[in-house]
Amino acid sequence: MTPPSNNLIALEPKKVPAYVEAITESGGQIADLGANVKALIWTDYSNPQLLQQTLDQNPQLEWVQLPFAGVDAFSFLLDRPITFTSAKRSYSEPVAEHALALCLAMARVIPERVRATSWGRQFADSLFDEEVLIIGGGGIAEQLAKLLVPFRSNVTVCRKRPTEPFMPGFSGQIVGFEQLDEELAKAKFVVLACALTDETRHLMNAERFELIRSDSYLVNVARGEVVNQEDLVSALKSGAIAAAATDVTYPEPLPEDHPMWQLENLIITPHSADVLAMVTRLFADRLRVNVAAWVSGAELTGRVDSKLGY
Amino acid sequence: MTPPSNNLIALEPKKVPAYVEAITESGGQIADLGANVKALIWTDYSNPQLLQQTLDQNPQLEWVQLPFAGVDAFSFLLDRPITFTSAKRSYSEPVAEHALALCLAMARVIPERVRATSWGRQFADSLFDEEVLIIGGGGIAEQLAKLLVPFRSNVTVCRKRPTEPFMPGFSGQIVGFEQLDEELAKAKFVVLACALTDETRHLMNAERFELIRSDSYLVNVARGEVVNQEDLVSALKSGAIAAAATDVTYPEPLPEDHPMWQLENLIITPHSADVLAMVTRLFADRLRVNVAAWVSGAELTGRVDSKLGY
């Protein structure tokens, strides 16, 4: 990449103070959008149409930094001749922690303990020496694999491109999606941590809930649509799976009359794996890295591959 | 220790098949109690009086293996001229896992999510880079410190003898009880994992709940009596502490009319950190080690110091 003609950087639509500080400390200069501003940091989590409009009005833009790790909401924009970077891998630590918290909450039957008004049954499952299947081979998978090391869990990562580099020192196995069904039948814990793409939409459906171990625990920290929610409800009711926990649903927020709220073996967290305070700090860290790279003409971190969709 | 005169080992009062197998595989021979049986594996978790009676009737006993990690229930027997070994450090892994599960359940406000019937507030705390105080420097502390390594938590261990060896490679700090009050004021997570002794009884009392951070989380995987339960209830009601989680109470089971069942910021698990299935496997492992040591005259693992009470 050739060095940019200047260090002017637009920060839109919200000039979050932590981001202003990160940009200026890294050699960038905050500027209003205009003909000589080639870089845009986009800080809105809810309105991709506003970004579309901004891009239409600013054909000079060469680099756009998106605020999410997953870019599915922006997929209709990614074909433009612009370098898009996402926040991928930025928020992996808190999301992996949330996935672990949900695994342990199910293993230690915390929902049953929370509802109890008397001493309960002696029951607990453990992650020690257990089979854990992580679907998706990105930053969350790497961070979760790190958190699982002291548990000696037998970790299998199922990803689109199994031969690509994964975490250095990883001692588990890496397989492609053609082995997913086989691995689902073995795992005690299944964690969904993949991008939402045409291939992963409704990946967990009725057929796969038949394959899964009936004593297994499912965690979704990916996107709601990776699971067919109707099929999940059936599987939880029939006992095809012991319990599930999801940080994501469709739609979000999940309506109050949705049957998922009624299931005792389902934990729903409101997309709170990486809450704003965590995200702000971690996104500012990413901005420091990328603004410094942009200003010096170095490689940007988190480039989006529009064909892969992440 | 001189080699024993024989390899006869009594297994009382329950001849659990996994223990029979562990003993015989390790060179021991199961025998009924009698004049030439010097070793006793005690498998009862509930009735110390029965052990007292057995010891009275069998003055020839030289070694008694107790089934608990904590020996407070047997403290009135420990002055006898017998080598007592406890299961200390045997069950550390599942108990440390339970402590971590409870820390994360509070940080990720799982009780609030479990009770929710609609999308909730965006809130989550994290263990990453946080201050964790572990009270007690035994096996649970070591295992928990291991589980916390990938979180880069800043771990402080408060123990009776701070200069004794702790886990190799431990990068946190170790302090004595004279620094407890100071450390309590700093920690975001406080985990009780000490033996119950005269010094630790009601260690967490009204005074200390005043010192503790009001945004902190308390976990008790030690013994119920390490906490003054009345003071805990007050602290949880007044907001002197954000939340607590306990695997132990007094009495156990906790009566149904106890006010602790009514607190929304308290998780009670029914002494299920190390459930029977886990304990049986791990105690059998300990028996393999100790029977082999006994038969060959080597050092026994888990010797109880009657003066220290653990």
Residue of A nearest to B253 (CA): A119
Residues B230 and B122 in one domain: yes
Beta strands in B66-145 (DSSP E): 83-85, 131-135
Average pLDDT on B26-47 reads 94
Closest CA to A90 of A249, A267, A281: A281
Contact status, residue B294 vs residue B300, Cβ threshold 8 Å: yes
Token pair for A91: 């928020």
| Partners of residue A189 in chain B, C-beta under 8 Å | none
DSSP secondary structure letter of residue B191: E
Quick one: pLDDT band at residue B307, thresholds 50, 70, 90?
Answer: confident
Rounded to a whole number of angstroms, the CA Rg of chain A reads 21
Given a cut of 90, whether residue B45 has pLDDT beyond it is no
Asked if the structure places residue B303 within a domain, the reply is no
Cα distance from B286 to chain A (closest Cα, Å)?
17
Task: Return the CATH number at B106.
Answer: 3.40.50.720
Active site residue A258: no
A55-59, B216-220, B270-274, B303-307: segment of lowest average pLDDT: B303-307
Average pLDDT on B188-214 reads 97
How many percent of chain A have pLDDT more than 90? 93
Given a cut of 90, whether residue A68 has pLDDT beyond it is no
Nearest to A270 among B120, B150, B276 (CB): B120
Residue of A nearest to B267 (CA): A114
Asked if the structure places residue A45 within a domain, the reply is yes
Asked if the structure places residue A302 within a domain, the reply is no
Instruction: Tell me which of A112, A115, A119 to substitute to probe the interface with B (most B C-beta atoms closer than 10 Å).
Output: A119
Given a cut of 60, whether residue A259 has pLDDT beyond it is yes
Q: What is the pLDDT of residue B308?
A: 86
Residues A74 and A98 in one domain: no
Average pLDDT on A135-164 reads 97
Asked if the structure places residue A2 within a domain, the reply is no
Q: Spell out the residues 6+ positions from residue A110 whose beta carbon is closer than 8 angstroms to its own.
A: A104, B101, B105, B110, B111, B114, B267, B269
Given a cut of 80, whether residue B5 has pLDDT beyond it is no
| Partners of residue B116 in chain A, C-beta under 8 Å | 261, 268, 270
Q: What is the pLDDT of residue A27?
A: 96
Instruction: Give me the number of domains chain A comprises.
Output: 2
Catalytic residue positions of B, numbered: 271
Rounded to two decimals, the ipTM of the complex is 0.91
Token pair for B232: 């805990």
Average pLDDT on A280-303 reads 96
Given a cut of 70, whether residue A2 has pLDDT beyond it is no
Contact status, residue A8 vs residue A39, Cβ threshold 8 Å: yes
Residues B238 and B119 in one domain: yes
How many percent of chain B have pLDDT more than 70? 98
Q: What is the pLDDT of residue B3?
A: 54
Q: What is the pLDDT of residue A4?
A: 59
Cα distance from B75 to chain A (closest Cα, Å)?
26
Residues B188 and B62 in one domain: no
Q: Do B122 and A146 lie within an 8 Å CB cutoff?
A: no
Closest CA to B119 of A191, A268, A66: A268
Domain that holds residue B37: 8-90+276-296
Residues B206 and B58 in one domain: no
Question: Tell me: the pLDDT tens digits for A14-38?
Answer: 999 999 999 999 999 999 999 999 9
Residues B52 and B104 in one domain: no
How many percent of chain A have pLDDT more than 70? 98
Contact status, residue B46 vs residue B66, Cβ threshold 8 Å: no
Given a cut of 80, whether residue B132 has pLDDT beyond it is yes
Residues A145 and A185 in one domain: yes
Average pLDDT on A174-197 reads 97
Residues A47 and A60 in one domain: yes
**Torsion angle of C-alpha atoms A150, A152, A158, A162, degrees rounded to 10:** 90
| Partners of residue A132 in chain B, C-beta under 8 Å | none
Q: What is the pLDDT of residue A216?
A: 98
Residues B195 and B218 in one domain: yes
| Mean of pLDDT over chain A | 95
Given a cut of 90, whether residue B82 has pLDDT beyond it is yes
Q: What is the pLDDT of residue A5?
A: 65
Given a cut of 70, whether residue B155 has pLDDT beyond it is yes
Asked if the structure places residue B113 within a domain, the reply is yes
Of A232, A250, A268, the position where a domain reaches its end is A268
Asked if the structure places residue B237 within a domain, the reply is yes
Q: What is the pLDDT of residue A307?
A: 87
How many percent of chain B have pLDDT more than 90? 92
Contact status, residue B220 vs residue B249, Cβ threshold 8 Å: no
Asked if the structure places residue A304 within a domain, the reply is no
| Mean of pLDDT over chain B | 95
The model carries a pTM of: 0.92
Given a cut of 70, whether residue A49 has pLDDT beyond it is yes
Q: Spell out the residues 6+ positions from residue A119 whose beta carbon is closer than 8 angstroms to its own.
A: B252, B253, B254, B270
Q: What is the pLDDT of residue B55?
A: 97
From residue A193, alpha-carbon distances to A25, A268, A273 in Å are 33, 16, 12
Cα distance from A306 to chain B (closest Cα, Å)?
30
Quick one: pLDDT band at residue B4, thresholds 50, 70, 90?
Answer: low
Residues B27 and B130 in one domain: no
Given a cut of 90, whether residue B26 has pLDDT beyond it is yes
Given a cut of 70, whether residue A293 has pLDDT beyond it is yes
DSSP secondary structure letter of residue A255: P
**Could you tell me whether strands B154-158 and A266-268 are parallel, antiparallel, or unpaired per DSSP bridges?**
unpaired
d(CA A125, CA A188): 10
Average pLDDT on A72-76 reads 90
d(CA B233, CA B229): 6
| Partners of residue A265 in chain B, C-beta under 8 Å | none
Residues B206 and B261 in one domain: yes
Element (H, E) at B219: strand B217-220
Residues B111 and B230 in one domain: yes
